[in-house]
Chain A
Amino acid sequence: MAAEILAESVYYQYSQAKDLALKDINLRIQKGEFVAIIGPNGSGKSTLAKLFNGLFIPAKGSVRVDGLDTRDRENIWKIRQKAGMVFQNPDNQIVATVVEEDVAFGPENLGVPPEEIKKRVYEALKIVELTDFDQKAPHLLSGGQKQRVAIAGVIAMKPDYIILDEPTAMLDPVGRREVINTVKRLNREEGKTIVLITHFMEEAVQADRVIVMNRGRVVMEGTPREIFSRVEELKEIGLDVPQVTELAHRLKGRGLEVRGDILTIDEMVECLCPLL
């Protein structure tokens, strides 16, 4: 059985819409990968995410999670347990009045025995670094903490894939950092496969692979370095590049000996020092 999410010639259309939301999507997300999906509003990113765990079913083509076809209704619960989702607004995802109970909600619905639930909740809170908050009321937490509770709720279901749809869009810079560090840890230490949808390029830079969507299609795919060195194309479709990447690109254009695929301040410092 293949350990991957596989989308083959996927098309999707919303019932009232005249245009297709997704056109001929072919993607493979391998187990253990950290993939970022970027693209302007309305490019189909969120729609694609919802196809990955069977919230939406393709109009044409297929999506398979570990070989399980999302079109087959019998597979749906297994698929949702394998691929957990975290959404943008933390307030819409929290269901209980105590953090511990909120995290337990998922496994309770899976019929996991109480002892096992306890263990899972503890482990999940440990991974998101909120064990001291287990008895707190979620509404008293910061945005970043709430979002980490939502992530713990997903982890407690023991999914292999975690799909996060703009999890940091509503957070301040500190909250954003907390969530991204958690996501990276989930990938590197817990071996979870991550699909991160984001508008923040500094976040996408940290992934193994970046997928760029525009108007319902995948228009670019590659490592962050490959993708972000294509400054003009990204700007053309209304996306950003990190400030240092843009600076490198401009300096190179002015004839300075600078690499065009700089992603971080450290790289830029290293590259510029011999020249100044």
Chain B
Amino acid sequence: MPIVVKNLTHIYMPGTPFQSVALQDVNWTIEDGEFWGLIGHTGSGKSTLIQHLNGLLKPTSGEVIIDGVNINERGVNLREIRQKVGLVFQYPEHQLFEETVEKDVAFGPKNMDLPEEEIGRRVREALELVGLNYSEIKDRSPFELSGGQMRRVAIAGVLAMKPKVLILDEPTVGLDPRGRDEILREIVRLRERQNITVILVSHSMEDIAKLVDKIAVMHRGRMVDSGTPREIFRNYEGLSSIGLDIPQITHLMLRLKHQGKDVSTEVLTVEEAEAEILRAARRKGRA
């Protein structure tokens, strides 16, 4: 189910004194099974862009084509699109509302008019996918769980609709390092098991570097760059000029290179840096 964004422009409150261009001529192709990171300064248009991918916002001009269908054409069933393209907002736990975890996760599939057994099966499966023990947690109130658990219940609610594409808007913000690692691990596992397409919006370049296949960079409503993490993070000057960082470890390698050291700067994780520095030290007979 590829998604093609073509010449997408979105203007908020057009024709009023408050008119503002949120997206300008964005082109983006997301193939099946890809794992994308979407980065950009606050206000760069990331959230506006992802809300177009399941029809929550309509383009001012341009198209969003999912599985060959322009989703903004008359007669397109947007409810179906929203089941296929699951969107997890920031702080999704604020949207929990039911008395029990089970009921909360079942809310989406219930609206899909599925048979009872199928709903039950999906709820169980979704909770287990996010690393929660179904029988232990199903009857508890979502509001007495820890922050990390609440967030996973909220994500399970989207997974229970069996989306083909999962979009997560800053899923780890506000969590402690362990909570963050757990959520990210679940996302990776989910992709391996369900082979779904994932789009991750994040401010953490370290997380992005570790996880995704491709990165799209937004700045002032335009998609200014896209490519593999190595390609994107190579452009340190360009990224910092639009207020973005690169992973600390990549920055270190760039600094060593500037000092005239013979090291690769295409390093994205601590493990890779370790190997690269050991290699360089060996060449000098220091290790």
Interface residues of A (CB under 8 A from B): 40-42, 88, 142-143, 166, 169-170, 172-175, 199, 202, 238-240, 242-244, 246-247, 250-251, 254-257, 265, 268-269, 272-273, 275-276
CA distance A173 to B251 in the complex (A): 16
A172, B203: Cβ atoms closer than 8 Å: yes
* Residues in B neighbouring A244, C-beta threshold 8 A: 248-249, 252
Distance (Å) between the CB of B258 and the closest chain A CB? 9
> Is B261's CB within 8 Å of the partner chain A?
yes
CA distance A239 to B179 in the complex (A): 10
* Residues in A neighbouring B43, C-beta threshold 8 A: 142
Given contacts A250-B274, A268-B252, contact A169 B177 (CB under 8 A): no
**Pick the contact of B42 from A40, A169, A172 — CB < 8 Å?**
A172
CA distance A142 to B42 in the complex (A): 9
* Residues in A neighbouring B286, C-beta threshold 8 A: 256-257, 275-276
Distance (Å) between the CB of A75 and the closest chain B CB? 33
* Residues in B neighbouring A40, C-beta threshold 8 A: 176-178
* Residues in A neighbouring B274, C-beta threshold 8 A: 247, 250-251, 254
A273, B42: Cβ atoms closer than 8 Å: no
B147, A41: Cβ atoms closer than 8 Å: yes
* Residues in B neighbouring A257, C-beta threshold 8 A: 286
Given contacts A41-B176, A244-B249, A256-B281, contact A276 B261 (CB under 8 A): yes
CA distance A250 to B272 in the complex (A): 11
Distance (Å) between the CB of B89 and the closest chain A CB? 14
Q: Which 3 A-B pairs have the closest CB atoms?
A: A238-B178, A240-B177, A243-B248
* Residues in B neighbouring A175, C-beta threshold 8 A: 42
Given contacts A243-B270, A254-B278, A265-B252, 6 further A-B contacts (CB under 8 A): A40-B178, A41-B147, A244-B248, A244-B249, A251-B277, A265-B251
B203, A173: Cβ atoms closer than 8 Å: yes
Given contacts A41-B175, A238-B178, A275-B284, contact A256 B252 (CB under 8 A): no
CA distance A174 to B274 in the complex (A): 29
Residue of B nearest to A265 (CB): B252
> Is B256's CB within 8 Å of the partner chain A?
yes
* Residues in B neighbouring A166, C-beta threshold 8 A: 174
CA distance A123 to B255 in the complex (A): 39
Given contacts A244-B252, A265-B252, A272-B256, contact A239 B41 (CB under 8 A): no
CA distance A226 to B203 in the complex (A): 29
Q: What are 17 contact pairs spanning A and B, CB under 8 A?
A: A41-B147, A41-B148, A41-B178, A42-B146, A169-B174, A199-B176, A199-B177, A239-B176, A243-B273, A247-B252, A250-B274, A255-B287, A256-B277, A265-B251, A269-B259, A272-B261, A276-B261
* Residues in B neighbouring A242, C-beta threshold 8 A: 248
* Residues in B neighbouring A88, C-beta threshold 8 A: 174
* Residues in B neighbouring A170, C-beta threshold 8 A: 173-174
What 1/0 flags go to B243-287 for Cβ under 8 Å of A?
Answer: 111011101100110010111000000100110011011001011
With contacts defined as CB atoms under 8 Å apart, how many contacts are there between chain A and chain B in the complex? 103
A247, B273: Cβ atoms closer than 8 Å: yes
* Residues in B neighbouring A268, C-beta threshold 8 A: 252
Given contacts A244-B249, A247-B274, A256-B278, contact A276 B284 (CB under 8 A): yes
B252, A238: Cβ atoms closer than 8 Å: no
> Is B206's CB within 8 Å of the partner chain A?
yes
Residue of A nearest to B148 (CB): A41
* Residues in A neighbouring B177, C-beta threshold 8 A: 40, 199, 238-240
CA distance A41 to B41 in the complex (A): 27
* Residues in B neighbouring A172, C-beta threshold 8 A: 41-42, 203
B261, A174: Cβ atoms closer than 8 Å: no
CA distance A272 to B43 in the complex (A): 38
**Pick the contact of B245 from A173, A254, A272, A276 — CB < 8 Å?**
A173
CA distance A240 to B263 in the complex (A): 26
Given contacts A170-B173, A246-B270, A250-B270, contact A276 B178 (CB under 8 A): no
Given contacts A243-B247, A276-B263, contact A169 B270 (CB under 8 A): no
A247, B270: Cβ atoms closer than 8 Å: yes
Residue of A nearest to B278 (CB): A254
Distance (Å) between the CB of A170 and the closest chain B CB? 6
Which of B177, B251, B256, B259 has most chain A Cβ within 10 Å? B177
Distance (Å) between the CB of A206 and the closest chain B CB? 14
Given contacts A170-B173, A247-B273, A256-B287, contact A276 B280 (CB under 8 A): yes
Given contacts A170-B174, A247-B273, A275-B286, contact A265 B255 (CB under 8 A): yes
What 1/0 flags go to B171-197 for Cβ under 8 Å of A?
Answer: 001111111000000000000000000
Distance (Å) between the CB of B60 and the closest chain A CB? 23
